[in-house]
Amino acid sequence: MANILTRTDLLSLEDYQERRASMRQELMAHKSIRYIGLGDHVGLYFEDRRTVQYQIQEMLRIERIFDRTGIEEELNAYNPLIPTGRNLKATMMIEYPDEVERRKALVKLKGIEDCVYISVGEGERAQVFVDEDMDRTNDDKTAAVHFLRFEFSDLQLSSIKAGSGFVVGIEHSEYQDEFRLSSGDTFDSLVGDFD
């Protein structure tokens, strides 16, 4: 996988600390372009090499990891979030500011992570894989964070690269919304993941 990050892509803790403020500002602008809100309470943060690199740098900083083994562990944990050229990968956040309301919503929205889709062209949906690293839903409720991978067929990829729009949506019995993309910064940024 050519997109993966290696130790040589990372800054030392000292260099990162010096550049952190400016890198964070740039990354927040980049992430805002790659964000799709679905309704008032679900957000999809589409990951790419840049967002993952920042996350690794932050984890190394927070945990004060500077040894080769620790860095390799973080790379192994986060590299799977980088798109491979045939897919989109997103962190799904269920966001309710009020903790009591959030707890109730997570019960009501059990299984919502399996109801997220991306459809291309005339409605053919990409194959979606949820929480491949571990199951985050239990018998009572869903989790507030999920990791999604959307795999596209050759026909879907050709259609998107030719300028066909796509729809990102949720069809859950308690929560439905969709967002159409066919141009603009978000569309261009996500289509760039297919290069």
For 116-128, write each residue's pLDDT tens digit.
999 998 778 999 9
pLDDT of the residue at 83: 95
List, for residues 12-64, the tens digit of each pLDDT value.
Answer: 999 999 999 999 999 999 999 999 999 999 999 999 999 999 999 999 999 99
pLDDT of the residue at 137: 64
List, for residues 64-89, the tens digit of each pLDDT value.
Answer: 998 999 999 999 999 999 999 999 99
Start-to-end Cα distance in the chain: 13
pLDDT of the residue at 174: 96
Q: With CA atoms as reference, report the closest residue to 84 among 187, 1, 188.
A: 1
Distance of CA 132 to the CA centre of its chain: 13
Question: Is a pLDDT exceeding 80 seen at residue 133?
Answer: no
pLDDT of the residue at 123: 76
In the chain, DSSP finds a helix count (H) and a strand count (E) of 6, 9
Question: Is a pLDDT exceeding 90 seen at residue 191?
Answer: yes
List, for residues 156-174, the tens digit of each pLDDT value.
Answer: 999 998 888 999 999 999 9
Q: Report domain extents, the chain.
A: 7-194
What mean pLDDT is predicted for residues 109-113? 94
Question: Is a pLDDT exceeding 60 seen at residue 1?
Answer: no
pLDDT of the residue at 161: 87
Q: Is 192 exposed, middle or buried (0-12, 13-18, 19+ CB in 10 A)?
A: exposed
Q: With CA atoms as reference, report the closest residue to 113 among 87, 85, 97, 134.
A: 134
Mean pLDDT score of the chain: 92
pLDDT of the residue at 138: 66
Q: With CA atoms as reference, report the closest residue to 46 among 5, 9, 83.
A: 83
Rounded CA-CA distance 65/151 in Å is 33
